[in-house]
Amino acid sequence: MQAGYYNAAAGMVTQFNRLETIANNLANVNTAGYKEDNLITGDFMRIYKEARDNLPNPTNSKDAAKFLNRALDIAPQVVDSYTNQSVGDMQKTDNPLDFALSKEGLFFAVQTPNGVRLTRDGSFSIGNNGNIVTKEGFDVLGSDGKPINVSVRDELLHVNHNGKISINAPGSVKFVDGKNFYIAAPDNLRMLKKEGSNLYSYDQKDPLTPLTQSNSLVQGSIEKSNVNAVDMMVKMIESNRLVGMYQKVMDTQMNDLNQDAIQKLANTKA
């Protein structure tokens, strides 16, 4: 078995996965509320050590050794992934239906055909039925778990920092209290799973409860993506160079070394 070839192949696959993640981040650099994804690379030895206690024989005996392929102990692999949930820059739009959350770990709740989902994208609008909806047409939920309905005749809509909505009464300059935005704060952000359309699912047994005093909502602004385009481009160049290096190692291992070995073995004078 040519260990160098397989180690290089594993490293190349790892960099392909990394490039895919970087490309997705760059594609969403202008997506409101998007959060950057990252991969963590490790090696087979690290994975083995983390899982060793679960093996049938955790000792260093011959019986235990069969669970460790030492030829792959330094092969880089993707061992974990995570989403950077830091707050992106705030962009002022003066659109009364644009909202941003200024604190990390808070989300709007929306109703989708697949159930309630979470999002940081606060670029909302008013649908034909008078409900506040997302770009995809999903209803934005109030703290009571129901869609937020406002009259299309209302000219003014005000939302305070805690998500409490006030609208002007038709034909009057007075504001009347309406609903509150459903602002959720998941206990474990690692349990969030991206589903596309800038939405997250939250797989927890304990149901989410809306915050009443979040002091985080900013009306007339949107949160920009937290992706650093320059940093992503540097990482992309780095990964491309590593792919080239791994390819050179694989070519050397399979061609140069094999050819040299064949020539030496075929030399009967030695």
- Expressed as residue numbers, the domain containing 130 is 90-223
Residues 113 and 162 in one domain: yes
User: Between these two residues, 223 and 4, which has the higher pLDDT value?
Assistant: 223
Residues 39 and 120 in one domain: no
Q: Which two tokens stand for residue 13?
A: 């696959």
Residues 194 and 75 in one domain: no
Q: Quick one: which of 212, 210, 16, 1 has its CA closest to 109?
A: 210
Whether residue 210 contacts residue 143, with contact meaning beta carbons closer than 8 Å, is answered with yes
| Helix, strand, coil percent content, the chain, rounded in steps of 5 | 30, 30, 40
Residues 57 and 16 in one domain: yes
Residues 43 and 73 in one domain: yes
Whether residue 204 contacts residue 187, with contact meaning beta carbons closer than 8 Å, is answered with yes
Considering only 58-62, 102-106, 209-213, which range has the smallest mean pLDDT?
Answer: 58-62
What percentage of the chain exceeds 70 in pLDDT?
Answer: 75
Residues 130 and 182 in one domain: yes
Q: Which residues are paired to 223 by β-bridges?
A: 90
Considering only 49-58, 133-142, 195-204, which range has the smallest mean pLDDT?
Answer: 49-58
Phi and psi angles of residue 54, each rounded to the nearest 5 degrees, phi first: -95, -5
> Sorting pLDDT into bands at 50, 70 and 90, what band is 120?
very high
The region that residue 127 occupies, defined by phi over 0 for left and psi between -120 and 50 for alpha, beta otherwise, is beta
Residue 189 vs residues 192, 240, 270: alpha-carbon distances, Å: 6, 31, 65
- Scanning the structure block, which residue is given the tokens 């778990």? 145
Residues 94 and 219 in one domain: yes
CA–CA separation, 54 and 197 (whole Å): 38
- Scanning the structure block, which residue is given the tokens 């002007």? 168
89: Cβ contacts below 8 Å, ≥ 6 apart = 223, 224, 226
Q: Which residues are paired to 126 by β-bridges?
A: 132
CA–CA separation, 65 and 57 (whole Å): 9
CB pairs under 8 A, 24+ apart, for 254-260?
A: 254/2, 254/5, 257/2
pLDDT of residue 138: 96
SS (H, E, C) 227-249: CCHHHHHHHHHHHHHHHHHHHHH
Q: Tell if the pTM clears 0.85, that is, is over it.
A: no
Residues 187 and 106 in one domain: yes
User: Between these two residues, 11 and 225, which has the higher pLDDT value?
Assistant: 225
What is the tens place of the pLDDT at every residue in 25-51?
999 999 999 999 998 877 655 555 555
Q: Which residues are paired to 77 by β-bridges?
A: 42
User: Between these two residues, 176 and 238, which has the higher pLDDT value?
Assistant: 238
What is the tens place of the pLDDT at every residue in 172-214?
666 767 789 999 999 888 889 999 889 999 887 777 889 989 9
Residues 120 and 240 in one domain: no
> Sorting pLDDT into bands at 50, 70 and 90, what band is 136?
very high
pLDDT of residue 71: 47
User: Between these two residues, 234 and 53, which has the higher pLDDT value?
Assistant: 234
Residues 114 and 192 in one domain: yes
Residues 122 and 142 in one domain: yes
CA–CA separation, 182 and 144 (whole Å): 8
Q: Quick one: which of 240, 234, 101 has its CA closest to 159?
A: 101
Q: Quick one: which of 137, 153, 98 has its CA closest to 120?
A: 98
Residues 104 and 170 in one domain: yes
**Res 73 pLDDT > 70:** no
Count of domains forming the chain:
2
